[in-house]
Structure formats: structure tokens, C-alpha cells
């Protein structure tokens, strides 16, 4: 199981950073969207 996980990470390593940055961007937009009504 550990070798399968390692192989999966090695195969998806080129897109791993962009996927992580996309997730962070979605999280930031969620937080901003939830705080926006309090700012207006």
C-alpha cells in the first residue's frame, strides 16, 4: 500500500503544486466570501 501511494505521488508530481495552489485559492475565496457581508 505504501509503494502504491508513493507511485501515485510520483506520477502526479507535475500537477501536485498547481492542484495545491488551486485548493488554497478556493479556500481564500471561501473565507473572503464569508467575511464580505460583515465588511459592507
Radius of gyration of the chain, Cα coordinates, nearest whole angstrom:
16
Sign of the four-CA dihedral 3, 11, 8, 12:
positive
Cα 2 → chain centroid: 22
Q: What is the DSSP string of 3-40?
A: HHHHHHHHHTHHHHHHHHHHHHHHHHHHHHHHHHHHH-
What are the pLDDT digits (tens) for 5-39? 888 888 888 888 899 999 999 999 999 999 988 87
pTM over 0.75: no
Query: Quick one: pLDDT at residue 21?
Result: 95
Residue 40 predicted with pLDDT over 90 = no
Amino acid at each position: 500500500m505504501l509503494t502504491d501511494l508513493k507511485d501515485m505521488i510520483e506520477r502526479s508530481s507535475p500537477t501536485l503544486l498547481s492542484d495545491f495552489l488551486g485548493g488554497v485559492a478556493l479556500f481564500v475565496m471561501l473565507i473572503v466570501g464569508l467575511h464580505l457581508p460583515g465588511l459592507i
